[in-house]
Structure 1
Amino acid sequence: MPNTPFTLLLVEDELADAALFQEMLSEVAEEIMVHHVENGQEAWAFLTGGADFRPDLVVLDLNMPVMDGHAFLRRAKADERLRSIPVLVLSTSEHPEDVQRSYEGHASGYVVKPGTYAEYTRVLQTVEAYWRGVLRLPTLGEVAGR
């Protein structure tokens, strides 16, 4: 369903990494709307601030100041309003403990940040095809109308 609207919340403290992600994603799927915040606390405020914004996917870094990715994931998955939003961890960490903790925190997936432009493009193409083409995601109306 590549023609359906799709919004993504990018939680990334490194501005250069966030800019690279957005630039590369626009090459893969320019119509995806990306909102960027710099840490888990900003993501929490953004998602619970009263607006009806509900991203189709949260892409979450782990190592951030203020509120790291693990703390945000734990808090978001404990909140009934946010629990069904899929969270994809995108981290430089390949540490098995980070992977395990992320899945125990109910992350929907874990991807290690690629090291080359070509690998990053391939990862984003795969993410776009999977999250927009294969999966059926809940919509705000479906969740609210339970």
Structure 2
Amino acid sequence: MKNKHELGALILRLVLGISFFIHGVSKFQGGIENTVGWFESIGLPGFLAYAAALIEVVGGIAVVLGLFTRLVSVLFVLLMAGAIMKVKLAVGFLGNGQMAGYELDLAFLAMAVSLAVTGSKAYALDQFIFKGQETENKTAVS
């Protein structure tokens, strides 16, 4: 590992990826139809429940593996911004006793923004898969 910044990004990437993966799996385990119904009850199209759950599961795995971390992190930012604005903002930062607040969503959003901006190269499959392309791009720009 090159430096402490890469170690920090690796920790963010692993925690964020695992967290999103678990949240996505729980949507399917709890019955995705329940999530679809809940989305519809708050005025969102039901198919977005499938999209959110798939982004969480597949994106979570991708981020843990270090595949397309920046792109997936942008999708996570959009999910968290939507969750905060549509659902959590009304119940406040800490919640209202019946529903959790947006503190965790905001933390996930901040982690995803950080990864979207900086990426994470340590132990990332992108480093192996796209290694030759990165060298070609640097040579072409020079």
Q: Same fold (TM over 0.5)?
A: no
TM interval, short-chain normalised? under 0.3
TM-score by length of 1: 0.27
Higher strand proportion, which one? Answer: 1
State the structure with bigger RCO (CA 8 A, min sep 6), 1 or 2: 2
Higher helix proportion, which one? Answer: 2
